[in-house]
Structure 1
């Protein structure tokens, strides 16, 4: 994005700000136009193209990443509001030995077709698994006093903010269920 003079934002420019954010474990310092979304900062400034720009309105979930461990639609968040925050993208989910068990389960269950929504689906699924492990209920959780059991209905409800035009939903649910260790 450009400021009123047509040049790129610089430090001290009234339309830009510096932000230091940790992305996938690495601290990154950026000077960004104040209107830059987290999605655009990741893709255009950091070269992390896993999160996709689908609707750019927070409706499809293709841009889902983890912010401080919680699922967010990165197209809706201004990057300059994230100073000192921790962001994890699909690129940051794999470990030094290769893909994470969740990523492996997506492959094993053919939980994608065109693949466009897959990075957002995987980040959202990671969030679902973490929420359930913390005991956070959803709208369909039956027992609010015990541990959350990730049934198919529970997974579908929690993943409902991520759309798949190819309709790979049964495979996505199976991948999440396998990773959760739910039969």
Structure 2
């Protein structure tokens, strides 16, 4: 059953002259890039005809006015209720966001503290209805879903190893160094697979 997201908790600060950067991020390796690019393309194709859903990724989301250090940038996300026009950044006090799904891809450069802090942010402040973490080095995928108490519960994988994400109406799994989506038991092809399918 789909839950109705509560509005994020957004502390305010009176400062209208703060710069909110759109392009300050640490570079990632090619594997990380390929994983994120493919899942982003999957999501954009899935929701391409749905004007109520915005799929994107790798964009800064600022959640406290006046404090540009308070930000997060999901590797992929699905937001309900906003148009599809490209943004440089999101400012949550100007445009409250209903995150249905968010993904973070971790590497060995990410600390356990960073992972715990991001988990708490998505659960308590962003309130993404479903959250997925992928360790790109081990291939371990972990999924969470907000329960009625507003806390994340881990999603149990199916017997085939896939994980059902209700908000995507799809199953997600890690195969062949990529995150793959399945709908109705059918694997959604990558762009290369679709182009070269015989």
Max Rg structure: 1
TM over 0.5: no
The TM-score range, normalised by the shorter chain, is under 0.3
- Bigger fraction of residues in strand: 2
TM-score, normalised to structure 1, is 0.25
